[in-house]
Amino acid sequence: MEKFRMLFQHFQSSSESVMNGVCLLLAVVTVKLYSSFDFNCPCLAHYNALYGLGLLLTPPLVLFLCGLLANRQSVVMVEEWRRPAGHRRKDPGIIRYMCSSVLQRALAAPLLWILLALLDGKCFVCAFSSSVDPEKFLDFANMTPSQVQLFLAKVPCKEDELVRDSPARKAVSRYLRCLSQAIGWSVTLLLIVVAFLARCLRPCFDQTVFLQRRYWSNYVDLEQKLFDETCCEHARDFAHRCVLHFFASMQGELRARGLRRGPAGSGSEPPEVPEPPEGTDGEGGKAHLRAVSSREQVNHLLSAWYSRKPPLDLAAPPALGGRGLSHRAPPAAPAGD
């Protein structure tokens, strides 16, 4: 149980590990979907290509969109791209790095589907059976052009009476299947070579820019995640304080109506409901959270976070705008003696 908890905390703290896990899960789902899919070509001249190409390209598009939706960094990337500059300039290199990372993970499952379909060959045979040149096969010499087109459209359906046990159907199907597998293995080899070169040649170049972009892309993701967690923490603390304030304010009303009395009917004052003490946890964060204590201040804080992100300089004063979070007028200076 302890090892499982440590592993879960690792995945929680590392968004890259989470995205790799999601990418692997989508790949497994892709293999499972393709293996369980019942392929039925219509075997009609005008619909074979539409069905075959649709089955070859539509599921990858769906898987690509699912990969984008499952990747939290895609939302963070768009927010970083569209946010106002404010006190922090936008670096296009970070956005390009995040876009590359998102696309690499989102394209894994679609490419796997396309490769499986090409290596299997059924989609390719269905899509291009009507496009085969009949002059490459001697069995079509005694057929009219209309009979050839009808025969080629029936090639994917080996149980059809027109092409059952026909050597010509087997030759055309074998030709298209070999062509499909050749394309599939070529694409696989190309992807492996590109990945190998990218992994081997990257250390040969200066790593400074890559490390900087990787660091700041992770920073943007973690910063937004920590901001959301801090907002949830403040909302919980704010709601707790509002409820305590409500109960404390209701005591006066209850006493005025005579609904609240002390023990044995005495008129002793009931104890006030104490508000949580500030700074008792030894952290300054609680005091900063409780300083935001009204709806207007919360709205101003959220608006300031979106419109002008704080500069990446911890030595700068932690003020948001001219008057910070307070909407009240500054206190008057004490009069001189």
SS3 95: helix
CB atoms within 10 A of CB 48: 25
219 within some domain: no
Q: Is residue 275 part of a domain?
A: no
Q: Do 123 and 117 touch, CB atoms closer than 8 A?
A: yes
Q: What pLDDT tens digit does each residue of the chain (337 aa) get?
A: 555 555 545 544 456 666 777 777 888 888 888 888 888 899 898 899 999 999 999 999 999 998 898 888 888 888 888 888 877 888 899 999 999 989 998 999 999 999 999 999 999 999 999 889 888 887 787 888 888 889 889 989 888 877 888 888 889 999 999 999 999 999 999 999 999 998 898 888 888 988 999 999 889 889 888 999 999 999 999 899 899 888 888 887 777 777 655 554 444 454 454 555 544 444 555 777 777 888 898 898 888 888 888 888 777 665 544 444 443 444 444 444 4
Whether residue 94 is contained in a domain is answered as yes
Q: pTM here?
A: 0.73
Q: Which ranges in the chain belong to alpha helices (H)?
A: 2-13, 15-36, 48-70, 72-82, 92-106, 108-120, 122-128, 145-153, 167-201, 208-256, 284-291, 295-307
Distance, in Å, from the CA atom of 146 to the CA atom of 127, rounded to the nearest integer, reads 19
Q: Quick count: other Cβ atoms within 10 Å of Cβ 71? A: 22
Within its chain, how far is the Cα of 276 from the centroid?
A: 38
> The tokens 């009507």 sit on which residue?
130
Cα angle: 125, vertex 131, 134; to 5 degrees: 105
Please tell me the predicted confidence (pLDDT) of residue 282: 42
Contact 66, 59 (CB under 8 A): no
What φ, ψ does residue 262 adopt, rounded to 5°? -75, 180
| Res 285: pLDDT | 58
**8 in a domain, yes or no?**
no
Give me the number of domains the chain comprises: 1
Please give the residue range of the domain that contains residue 172: 18-204
Domain annotation covers residue 289: no
| pLDDT value for 324 | 41
SS3 43: coil
What six digits make up the tokens of 44? 């009609």
Q: Is residue 58 part of a domain?
A: yes
Does some domain include residue 151? Answer: yes
Place of tokens 């909302």: 235
User: Looking only at Cα atoms, what is the longest distance across the chain?
Assistant: 119
